[in-house]
Amino acid sequence: MTARKLAAGNWKMNGLAADLAEVEALAKAHPSPAVDVLICPPATLIAPMCTRIAGSAIAVGGQDCHAVEKGAHTGDISAQMLADAGATNVILGHSERRTDHYETDASVRLKTQAAWSADLVAIVCIGETLGEREDGETLDIVGGQLAGSLPDGCTAANTVVAYEPVWAIGTGKVPTLDQIAEVHDFLRARLEERFGAEGAGIPLLYGGSVKPSNADEIFGVSNVDGALVGGASLKAADFGGIIEALERAE
């Protein structure tokens, strides 16, 4: 089984209604992309974004969800609410959530199950800090996060894994191609070991200062099936360049 190619944009806590013009421009510039394209805006923009690009090839996702369907959880949003707003995917376990909100592998695993219950594709994020890499612990850290964050039942249809070295997110620093290959090859082997043929088809995204100028070389690395892009996904021209690079890698 071959993993599908995915260019996913994480707008994080950026974007107002006026910024929907960027995703409209992206949809017009890439009406029939040869790869899957996803934008994950703030929750306030999910429904209006879905309306503005209805009928386009771009999917819309959320950036987090609660582990339960409903209840007394002020300020949270459930997977069912995301789906009701038009989302098809949700990012889970991003390092900013793990750091700022003290999320654990166990909580990410529960959220992943919640996403599946709402028919959302879970994009599960893992990655090491700079200190962990310098101590030679990278594979131990990402292997542990992978095992702890993914529930049984992962398939190529319901799960995406994103490797984002924490020290490369938004810093302009990018691991060497050999470092990216080492982690992605390791993750693919672990996925195949645990999930068999389905593990071979689960997309593995790289994230961390991806931009049009380095996308071609990153997408040429083994077992890199796409990218989870932060700042460069906010502008149609920049994200469009990344989409084109992924299409060239097909």
According to DSSP, the residues that pair with 62 across neighbouring strands are: 90
With tokens 């790289």, the residue in question is 206
Q: Which helix (H) or strand (E) holds 62?
A: strand 58-62
Alpha carbons 62 and 49: distance in angstroms, whole number: 12
| Conformation bin of residue 208: beta by default, left when phi > 0, alpha when psi is -120 to 50 | left
Alpha carbons 208 and 142: distance in angstroms, whole number: 15
Q: Does residue 184 carry a catalytic annotation?
A: no
Catalytic hit among 164, 184, 198, 244: 164
Q: What CA–CA distances, in Å, run from 57 to 15, 104, 191?
A: 21, 33, 28
Q: Does residue 94 carry a catalytic annotation?
A: yes
Catalytic hit among 22, 94, 103, 198: 94
Burial-class residue 57 by CB neighbours within 10 Å (0-12, 13-18, 19+).
middle
* Catalytic residue ranges: 94, 164
